[in-house]
Each structure stands twice: as C-alpha cells, then as structure tokens.
C-alpha cells in the first residue's frame, strides 16, 4: 500500500483483510472495533473540520487520540475500563498500519506508546439465594413474556452463561433427555456444554412446548421472533428487580445486571466448595486466575479463615478528660 493512502483505505483493509480474513475475529470483536472508530471519526470531524472520507492517516496522531480518549471519559462519562477497551482497538489498527505504512513509523510509535489507565477494581456483585428466589418469582407466568423472562433468568442464574451466549441460544441448542444440557459457542469461539438442573429442565420443557412466535428458532425471542438485544435483557431484568424488591428489600441496594447473574452462579459454586479450576471450566474462562475475583469478594470464606486463626491481643482504651469540668460533663 502506498504511503499516501487515505485513512479510509487503511481502515477498510484493516477490517476486511486483517480482522475478517486473517484473524477471523468474532462478530463481537468487529462490532466493538467498529463502534470505536465510528466515535473516533466523529471526534476527528469536529476537531479537524473534515469529513471522515477525506482524512489522511497522518492526521490521526497521538495528541488527537489522547484528546479523543479524554473526551470519552469527560464528555460521555464512560468508565476507565471502557476507555482502555477503546484504546485497545486503536492500538490494534496502528499495529496493522506499522506494516502497511512504515514511512509513518514515528507517528505510529507515539500512538502505541499511549498507556492504558489504571483503575480501581471493585469487588464483584452477586445475589444471595433469597434474592435469586425473589427475582425468579417476579415475572408473571400467566403471560407469554412472563414465562419467557422466568425461563431466561432461571437459565442465566443456573448456567452462568454470558449475555451474548444466552441471547444467542436456539431451540436446538437445548438437550432435555438423559444428560440434559445447553450448548453454546462462547468467547474465543469455544464451544462448551453446560448441564441443566432438574428444575431448569422442567421449566424449559414447558417453555419449548409453547408454539414459538413467528416460527423462530431463538430460544428466548423478542416480540417479533428475533434475537433479544442486550438493552432488552437489561430492561426486562430491571423491571423484575423492581417487583422483587417488594418481597426482598435487600435488592434495592444492588445494581443487578445480566452479568451479576453470572457472578451469582460462580459465587454459589465457590461457596459450595467447588475447585476454582472447575469453576473456570464451567464459565468458559481462559485462565483459572480469572476466578480469583470471586475469592476476593467472598466475605464468608474470609470469615471462616479468620475463625481458624488466633487474633492478636488488644485492649480497648478509654478517653479520660484532663479537666474536672469536662469529666463532669462526660459522666452525665
């Protein structure tokens, strides 16, 4: 590729040749990278007053990228984690450009040198068993939507599937005979099977006996028979959490998201004494170390450890005022 190539040409070859053909990146990765560059091009158009199709590669330099990342944090209010994910997409593009445009090596190195921001890792949030039971009881199972939502939430908290895995399930992915399980293709295109409990099998059996809307093959379709979006799942979950708060007030203090249901499953396994390697296998984690976050958040296990140790001796001190009047007032 010539050194005078436009940014549009480089971006097109990056997505079509590098991501799709060479790396065969997943649709989720391509979608995330696409959104990153859509935001970057909109920011560059405002800053440089040029349409994205007319931008040259050398105009996307380190100061512009740094300003874009700062604007994401301050203007759009995204988290540091999301900011770092956007930076990862930009770095991937510039690593590709380093081979296609060696004449811009200095510019590329300055962009690649932009560091990711460090951030505080919060403890993972999860639901207790009473909170899960209240949430499962919230959907009105006299309606089609209520039965769908109940089945979806039950599968989520029992299997620990990721949101994308859950919404992508089709009817043929569920096996309800001997060795009942659900099959999905997860992160990194890894296919895995997750066993189903008897209660989940009973609910899914009744759900699959219902005529599907619009003859769809989706296990949990939307009203039009298509795939549920992430926003739709978040909305229906928020609606049922609001109802569940009436019977379980502790839910009011928790921000319940679809991923919290996955954390709840993992924490339940950990509290039952399941080995971390098995939990990582169940959840489809790449590394056992990923499950460390559940150990850090498990206060009950830490209390058990503390009960097995001898605490250091300590005696409480008492405040003694040095003035007679203060002593009088203190003892009133």
Does 294 participate in catalysis according to the annotation? yes
Catalytic residue among 147, 171, 187, 227: 187
Does 83 participate in catalysis according to the annotation? no
Backbone angles phi, psi at 234, to 5 degrees: -60, -40
Catalytic residue among 76, 246, 259, 302: 259
Number of other residues whose CB lies within 10 A of the CB of residue 262:
22
- Report whether 128 contacts 267 (CB < 8 A): no
Does 28 participate in catalysis according to the annotation? no
Catalytic residue among 162, 240, 263, 276: 162
Does 34 participate in catalysis according to the annotation? no
Catalytic residue among 18, 86, 240, 262: 262
Determine the distance from the C-alpha atom of residue 38 to the mean position of all C-alpha atoms in its chain, rounded to a whole number.
21
- Report whether 134 contacts 251 (CB < 8 A): yes
Q: How far apart are CA 50 and CA 324, in angstroms?
A: 79
Does 162 participate in catalysis according to the annotation? yes
Catalytic residue among 45, 181, 192, 285: 285
Closest CA to 164 of 284, 39, 314, 276: 284
The tally of CA atoms less than 13 A away on the side-chain side of residue 328 is 3
For 331, the token pair is 């003892």
Does 262 participate in catalysis according to the annotation? yes
Rg (CA), the chain: 26
For 31, the token pair is 């979608």
Residues assigned a catalytic role: 162, 187, 259, 262, 285, 294
């Amino acid at each position: 590729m010539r050194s005078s190539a436009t940014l549009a040409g480089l971006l097109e070859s990056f997505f079509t040749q590098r991501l799709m053909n060479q790396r065969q990146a997943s649709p989720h990765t391509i979608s995330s990278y696409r959104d990153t560059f859509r935001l970057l091009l909109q920011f560059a158009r405002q800053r440089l007053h040029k349409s994205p199709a007319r931008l040259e590669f050398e105009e996307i330099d380190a100061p512009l990228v740094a300003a874009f990342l700062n604007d994401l944090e301050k203007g759009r209010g995204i988290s540091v984690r999301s900011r770092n994910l956007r930076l990862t997409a930009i770095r991937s593009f510039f690593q590709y450009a380093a081979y296609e445009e060696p004449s811009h090596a200095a510019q590329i190195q300055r962009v690649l040198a932009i560091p990711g921001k460090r951030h505080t890792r919060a403890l993972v949030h999860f639901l207790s068993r009473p909170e899960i039971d209240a949430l499962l009881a919230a959907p009105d199972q006299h309606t089609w939507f209520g039965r769908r939502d109940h089945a979806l939430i039950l599968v989520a908290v029992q299997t620990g599937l990721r949101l994308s895995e859950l919404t992508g399930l089709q009817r043929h992915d569920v096996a309800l005979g001997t060795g009942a399980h659900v099959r999905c293709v997860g992160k990194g295109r890894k296919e895995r099977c997750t066993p189903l409990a008897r209660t989940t099998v009973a609910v899914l059996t009744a759900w699959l006996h219902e005529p599907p809307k619009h003859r769809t093959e989706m296990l949990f379709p939307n009203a039009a028979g298509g795939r549920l979006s992430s926003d739709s799942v978040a909305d229906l979950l928020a609606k049922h959490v609001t109802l569940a708060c009436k019977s379980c007030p502790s839910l009011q203090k928790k921000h319940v998201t679809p991923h919290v249901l996955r954390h709840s499953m993992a924490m339940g396994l950990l509290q039952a004494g399941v080995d971390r390697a098995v939990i990582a296998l169940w959840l489809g984690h790449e590394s056992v170390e990923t499950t460390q976050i559940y150990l850090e958040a498990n206060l009950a296990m830490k209390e058990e450890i503390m009960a097995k140790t001898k605490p250091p001796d300590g005696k409480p001190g008492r405040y003694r005022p040095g003035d007679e009047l203060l002593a009088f007032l203190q003892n009133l």
